[in-house]
Amino acid sequence: MRHLKIVDLRINNIKRIEAAIVRPDPAQPLVVVSGKNGAGKSSLLDAITIALAGARNRDPKVLREGAANGSIELDLGELRVRYTTRRSATAGRGDNERLEVYAADGVKLASPQAVLDKLYSGFTFDPLAFTRLQPLQQREMLIDLLGLRQIMTELTNQREVFVRNRTAAREQAAALRRERDALPATSGARERRSADEILQQLAADNQRRADNAAKWAEVEQQQRAVTESEARVASADARITTMEAELEQLRCARNEAAAVLANMRRLTNLARSIADQLVDPPPPAAYQAQLADIERHNAAVAVTERREALEQQIIEADRVAANHQSAVETVDQTIRTQLANAKWPIPGMSFDAETGHIACGGIPFQQLSSAERIRISTAVGMGVNTELRIMRISDGSLLDADSMRAIEEMALDKDYQLWVERIEGGEYAGVYIEDGMVLRSKANNA
């Protein structure tokens, strides 16, 4: 497998760099770019990123201020990358860019962007910056570097759906239990009773009561007629004693009235004997008590039926929650399997089962020493791309002498070329930049 390193780097009018030529010493694994703040150190390393990114470059300002055009030539030994750009009065960045990639024999490759896409991520990984990320940010970056983004996203989305469904089912079961427990205590009766027979009997009794009242009304009417006849008889008797002349007429009238009276008395006595035999039905209050008892019974049955229905719904909700929990556990196991089968950059590296943070040998990454974190982060970067053997370290001034020696030893062991940005180069002084120009370079073979 080929190992691509930077053999020659030429930059013209890119960002803060006016002109730069760097030829790293192949015997030295570290290329230290030093200079004061604002001198152009980051611009030199950014130029490497721009050349490797090609169309993926998202830097909105590539050309040096005031320059009409700029270029980056990057010789990787077996590949040579040439990036050019020029300023346009009307077009924005990207409308006047050109990217060319050549093989070692000088043949121009037909798909330069596809070639660069395979190399780009290796150089953009900064191990020192990685150590300063939050644990979850480190996890997300490592997932991308391991090539697990798509499957982890799919599994995480599935898990979120299952968790939401499980939560909804559990909440439904809890609500059903609260409703069941709030129901009043009952005898457990399950069969409803009908009030139709009592209601029919009550209607019949009401009708009979109305018929009896009508009969008594007839008796009373006849009694009034008797009273009136008695008054007429009495009036006739009084007139007999005072009006002899009308005696015969009055006697006839009396006889007639007496006959009528006798008949009425007979009828009245008959009606009274019939009325005496009438029996009133029980009062309505007796039926109301029975109806109230039926209503209470049926209400208790309804409670029992609702409780049984709730029990079934609770069983179903618990079943659904259990199914979703099983699905969550299946997804979790799939995630663990994917992570276990991933090609981790160093042995013993994994994600903590509880926090999801990076762990090495079971120890959380954040609890490791600073030197150990830098060593592991550098190993992660070196494991990203086995073909492109260059890596960028910004803020290299934060690395002490022991850390610098540690990454130098790793670079030698893994055949890597590390480009380190520092304010002062010290014993590693290589490329020194001032005002966008390379003033001296121990990295150059010249």
How many H-runs (helices) and E-runs (strands) does the chain carry? 11, 13
Residue 74 and residue 6 in contact, taking contact as beta carbons nearer than 8 Å: yes
Q: What are phi and psi of 184, to 5 degrees?
A: -70, 155
* Annotated domain spans of the chain: 1-24+36-119+385-390+418-446, 152-341
pLDDT for 440: 61
- Mean pLDDT, to the nearest integer, of 195-204? 87
Task: Give the CA dihedral 101, 106, 109, 113, nearest 10 degrees.
Answer: -10
- Please state which of the ranges 229-233, 243-247, 248-252 shows the lowest mean pLDDT: 243-247
Distance CA 139, CA 127 (A): 14
Q: Using H for helix, E for strand and C for coil, what is the string for 212-246? A: HHHHHHHHHHHHHHHHHHHHHHHHHHHHHHHCHHH
The pTM of the full predicted model, rounded to 2 decimals, is 0.61
| pLDDT tens, position by position, 135-155 | 998 888 888 888 888 998 999
Q: Which residues contact 344 (CB under 8 A, 6 or more apart)?
A: 146, 350, 383
Eight-class DSSP state of 65: T
Output the CA angle 231-236-240, nearest 5 degrees: 150
- First and final CA of the chain: distance in angstroms? 29
Question: Is the domain 1-24+36-119+385-390+418-446 a CATH 2.40.50 member?
Answer: no
Contact (CB, 8 A) for 236 and 254: yes
Cβ atoms of 31 and 22 within 8 Å: the answer is yes
DSSP single-letter state for residue 129: H
State the pLDDT at residue 432: 84
What pLDDT is attached to residue 254? Answer: 81
Cα–Cα distance for residue pair 109/82, rounded to 1 Å: 12
In this prediction, residues 251-265 reach a mean pLDDT of 84
Instruction: Please say whether the beta carbons of 393 and 421 come within 8 A.
Output: yes
The answer to whether residue 445 scores a pLDDT higher than 50 is no
> What is the pLDDT at residue 427?
64
pLDDT at 127: 84
> Is residue 192 very low, low, confident or very high in pLDDT (cuts 50, 70, 90)?
confident
Model confidence at 232: pLDDT above 50: yes
> With bands split at pLDDT 50, 70 and 90, how would you rate the model's confidence at 35?
confident
Backbone conformation region of residue 356, classed left if phi is above 0, alpha if psi is from -120 to 50, else beta: left
The pLDDT score that the predictor gives to residue 275 is 80
pLDDT > 50? residue 322 = yes
- Cβ atoms of 407 and 392 closer than 8 Å: no
- For 64-107, what is each residue's pLDDT tens digit? 988 999 999 999 999 999 999 988 766 544 458 889 999 989 99
